[in-house]
Amino acid sequence: GENVEQHPSTLSVQEGDSAVIKCTYSDSASNYFPWYKQELGKRPQLIIDIRSNVGEKKDQRIAVTLNKTAKHFSLHITETQPEDSAVYFCAARLLDSWGKLQFGAGTQVVVTP
Amino acid sequence: EAQVTQNPRYLITVTGKKLTVTCSQNMNHEYMSWYRQDPGLGLRQIYYSMNVEVTDKGDVPEGYKVSRKEKRNFPLILESPSPNQTSLYFCASSLARTTEQYFGPGTRLTVT
């Protein structure tokens, strides 16, 4: 089955700097890659997603890149702000699987003023 | 307001005492799923359902049961809870398999 590895597990950045989180997946059939943000004590919420027919997607300060050949995708947060502090999860879905969304272990991002 | 609700939000129970965590969504979503979240392990899928009366196992189904008798409800049943089921549980729903999953607020379960 699909296996998703996420690095780093913790990331500390100064406010205004960029943050990058990387994920690798094992199954080349995966074609949908969402990223979720979970603030302390709250539920995960989708912040951006990418499909395998697209190499990059941006939404304001957030961008996701996908390298299908290398089977990895990354989340980029530019001009970080204290409210970006949270746990971020990447995920990958198998092409023909209705249910199996495989999550990475998460990255704790701390943005210090 | 479109939402996924879970009850209870917090539960402390003892080993072997059957319990049910309810999940309900008001968005007419086809797909619903249960996850457990443990430190360092991320979100692991327990069971999912593609529609009424259609369910399947996720990655960690042992010790859990589900049912989908109505489209809006997807309860998680622990027939004989054990301490290793102490965790934070999330229910989620989505319109289709590649659309956004909306998570419930979570249920923190402690089994002593």
Minimum CA–CA partner of B30 in chain A: A98
B81 prior amide bond cis, ω within 30: no
Residue B111 reports pLDDT greater than 80: yes
Confidence of residue A96 (pLDDT cuts 50, 70, 90): low
Report pLDDT for A53: 80
pLDDT tens track for A61-70: 999 999 999 9
pLDDT tens track for B22-52: 999 999 999 999 999 998 888 999 999 988 9
Question: Cα-atom radius of gyration of chain B, to the nearest Å?
Answer: 13
The contacts of residue B40 (CB under 8 Å, 6+ apart) are A9, A105
For chains A and B, CB pairs below 8 A equal 59
Please tell me if residue A43 touches chain B, with a CB cutoff of 8 Å.
Answer: yes
Strand-strand pairing, B19-25 and B4-7: antiparallel
* B5-26 mean pLDDT: 97
From the candidates B95, B103, B108, which should be mutated to test the interface with A, based on the most A CB atoms within 10 A? B103
Among B44, B9, B47, smallest CA distance to B31 is for B47
Confidence of residue A99 (pLDDT cuts 50, 70, 90): low
Report pLDDT for B64: 98
